[in-house]
Structure formats: structure tokens, C-alpha cells
Chain A
Amino acid sequence: MDNHLWSDLKAGKKAALERIYADHASALLKYGRKFSADSQLVEDSLQDLFIELWKNREGLGNTDSIRKYLFVALRRKIIRAVSGSRMSSKEPEEGLFSAEFDIEQEIIGKETEAEQRLQLQKALEGLTKRQQEILYLKYYSDLDYNQIAEIMDLNYQSARNLAFRALEALRDAMLLLIIGFLWMLWVKLS
């Protein structure tokens, strides 16, 4: 599917470009907005990305995932624009990504005591920008760890470790809650 669309694009079929835009633009915008609050900058970057994709179509390499390719390219573009000059286009060590995690969701809201919710809130706020980004890519962008590693410019194992640390922090924050659940289970069984 991706292969077919990609070779149509390389062959200069405008419909392929339109299809790729329709499939990925919304996810790309949402991802891009996590790097900058300047929505004009993000939208301009997305626009430029597709114009360049079309202009350079003949020189495009192969890709196993169009989505991954676009995420990589948009991420670079926005980071370059945010860091201002073309010379220092490197992302700061701690990352730029910032998402708003929401714990007011039904399940957690109803079943959880205020104290435990506070713990979870703290854990989510304590995630580093890189940890936030990897959770977002894993749980919100329909990408696998191989693709995520490439997007975040990590090797596969580092990406797995980064995600593991983030999830571990959430698990630990919820430990109290789990103990309560196990106790209930034990009461029921015995």
C-alpha cells in the first residue's frame, strides 16, 4: 500500500501527494504542535514539507513507512525553525517536546482516591520531554519502536529503554492502587 503510493508520487502523480496529505496531515499537525506553540510556524513547516516532497520527488529513496518518513522530516524542520538559525539546528539535549497529559479520564477519575491521583499527576509531570515524546509516538501515532527510534534519532534498544523508564515511573506511581486491587481479588477468591 505504502510502496504503491510512494512510487506513484515518485512518478509525478499529484493524486498520490494529495492522498498522502489526507492520510497523515492531521497526525503531523498534532505532533508538530507539541514542539512549538506557534501554530503558524508548525503549519508553515507542514506546508513546506509537502512542497519539498513534491519538488524532490524524483530523488526520493525508498521508505518502508510513509508516516515515519514524514514524522522524521517534519520533526527536523520544526526543530530547525524553533532553534532559529540554520547553523545551530540541533535539538537541545533535554528535548523540545511537550504534551499535556490528562488524568481526569473516566476510569482513573472514578476508581482512584485523590491521594493516588496526585501521585499519578506528579509522575506524569515528572516525565522528561523525551519520555513524553516516546509515549506520545507509541500510544498516539500508530508507529512501532523501530520507526519511533528512527524518528527520535535513537537506536532501537535506547528507544525501548526510554519507553520502559517512562512506563515504570507510571507503574510505580500507581502501585498503591494495584495493591488495593489485588487485595480485593484475594478476598473474592478466598
Chain B
Amino acid sequence: MRMDDNYANYSALDFAQEPSFIRWVRAGDGEAASAWERWLTDHPDRAGDVEQARRIVLAIQVREAEPAPETLSSIWNAIQVQTEEVAIKPMVPVRRTLVRRLIPYAAAASVALLAWFFLAYNPTKVVLTENAQQLALDLPDGSRVNVNAATELTYQPKSWKKERRVHLEGEAFFQVEKGEPFIVETDLGKVEVLGTSFNVKSREGYFEVDCFTGKVRVTNQNGSMQVLNPGQSTRIDLASGALTTPAVYDPGLTATWREGKFYFQEATLKEVFLEISRQYNVEITTAPEILGRKTTTFFELGNLDSALYKVCWPMQLNAKREGNVVNVE
């Protein structure tokens, strides 16, 4: 490395801003180091300024954590999902014997098909999250959805202007832009809103809606209907199959999965274990009578062992982990 003659006129603050000088001080960079050391023996009168500059550079130490690799890869997964081109469904195959007979019509058919493609073809967009993956996405009108792990969300971008409708299997938090009715369909119930934010969980027979802002109308398959105001929630009562009367929920404990926190109140262990297995991508095996027990508990994303301990210890249960399988006794 050749050293610039101008360095002779540098002040301490000039040195402190010189990239090769910074590299030398910081990392003891080999090439920069030998060049600077040589320069210093040639210019002993500059030792004071150089020392001053060295200390200034060293004083600038920022304390910061490196992002976790899982964080970086889960953001990339979400980018990947949303930059994928829309999936085209395979066409129904035509049997060989038919093909021959159909040849004369092929030209006409392809013209019709082309026309259909432009006029009526309405591809379905499918957003899928896997275990241990969450993502945020924008719908065509700017409404925002945070999707929890192991969830499938489908909608039709082309007819979005006519009808804002999504189908959900799993759990998601919606922030809906004002406009025409916005509908979330699930296998267990339907949620209708105008412009609001709310959380929907619909998994394995469990259905719950929490309203954060605006008004939310919830109906289930039996035609049972409830209107939620901000701060209220309803769920399907397992015994009667009806929606429960809107009740005030604790905002500190509700839909906190977006911050990696999971609270359960009077929930079955089955529900808790299912959430752990989704968030950590593990399989949990245990006796059926254990799954039915009720608990009020909490776990946080981060360490699987400590999550298991928090849930199991108060219930006098033991979790043994072997690879991706956890056995609870």
C-alpha cells in the first residue's frame, strides 16, 4: 500500500476519518498496519496526533447485537413467498382417445380458452406459512395481514376490487383499510368488517375472534351471530357450538403472537402443545388424558426447553426432548 504524502499535514481528526487508518486501529489490518507503522517511524513528530486519532477511533464503540440467523431467514422466506409469481392451477388432463377426436375443434377451443384466460381467469393467491415461520403481507387495497405459523390464507387478487374476501385456516391479525365490507371466511365461522383491526384464530375445532379497533361481525356455521366492539372477543363454545357472548379481553395477553409471546387462560394442554409444536416445529407426544387438562400459562419464542419447562412444571409434568420429538409425561 502506498501512503499519501498529504498525511504529513493531517490533524488528529483527519486521521480518525481516514478509512485505512480506521482499519489499522480497528482490526490491525495486515497491509494497512505495516504501511502505517512504517509511515509513523518516518514521521515521529506526528506520534501525538496519531495517538489522539487512535483513541478517538477506539472510543467509538457501539453496543449492538447481530441479528439472529433465524430472523434473517424468516424475513427472506416471507419475501420469497410474496415475490413468487401467482400459482396457476393445472388443467384437467384430456384422455388420449378423446384427443384424436378433438383435434378438429382444437383451434376453436384454443381461441375460446385464450378469451377465457383474459376475461374470466381469476387465479387464487395462496399464502402458506410453515411451522416456526410468521410473515406480514399487504393485500391489494393496502390492508395488512400478519400471518402466524402453520397457516394458509387464500384470496383472489383479480376480484379484490369487487369483493374483499379471504379464506383462512390458522391464525392471522388483520388491519383493514376503510372501504367495502371485508370478509374472512374460515371453516368454523365468518368475520365481516368495514375497516378495523382484529385477530382470527381458527384451528382444530377452535375458533376465536378478538376485535382491536372498529366493529366486527362474527357468524358461525349454525347461524349464531355476535357483534364485537373494540376490546371484545368471542369464540365458539365447544359444548353448545354457539358463539359466546362478547367478553372483554386483556389486551396485554391477546394476539401477542406477533411479538413472539403466547398466553393461555383456562386453555387445554392440547391447545398449548399444538402452539408450541407450530412455533418450534417439533412433534409432541403425550397421553390423551394429559391433553385434556386445563391450564393458565405463558411461553415465549426463543428457547424451546424453557418454553416446555414453563408450561410443564406447574402441571407436574416432565418434558423429554430427543431431536424434533418431545415426550411429555
Q: Do A and B bind each other?
A: yes
Residues of A within 8 A of B58 (CB): 105, 107-108
Closest 7 CB pairs of A and B: A102-B63, A100-B63, A54-B83, A102-B61, A29-B67, A50-B79, A44-B136
Q: Is B4 an interface residue (CB 8 A)?
A: no
Distance between Cα atoms of A48 and B71 in the complex (Å)? 15
Within 8 Å by CB of B60, from A40, A139, A177, A182, lies: A139
Interface of B is mostly: helix
> Would A185 and B47 count as touching, CB distance under 8 A?
yes
In the assembly, what is the distance between CA of A168 and CA of B22, in Å? Answer: 16
Asked if B17 contacts A185 (CB within 8 A), the reply is: no
> Which residues of A are found within 8 Å of B78, using beta-carbon distances?
47
- Which of B48, B55, B71, B258 gathers most chain A CB within 10 Å? B55
Query: Contact at B75–A174, with CB atoms within 8 Å?
Result: no
Number of interface residues of B (CB under 8 A): 35
Question: Nearest B residue to A136 by beta-carbon distance?
Answer: B62
B281 contacts the other chain (Cβ, under 8 Å)? Answer: no
Using a CB–CB distance below 8 Å, which chain B residues touch chain A?
12-13, 16-17, 19, 22, 47-48, 51-52, 55-64, 66-67, 71-72, 75-76, 78-79, 82-83, 135-136, 138, 258-259
Whether A135 contacts B60 by the Cβ 8 Å rule is yes
The interface size of chain A toward B, counting residues with CB under 8 Å, comes to 47
Are the C-beta atoms of B55 and A108 separated by less than 8 Å? yes
Evaluate contact between A167 and B16: CB separation under 8 angstroms: yes
Q: A103 to B64, Cβ gap below 8 A? A: no
Q: Mark A163-182, 1 if CB is under 8 A from B, else 0.
A: 11001101100100110011
On chain A, the residues within 8 Å of B52 by CB distance are: 171, 174, 178
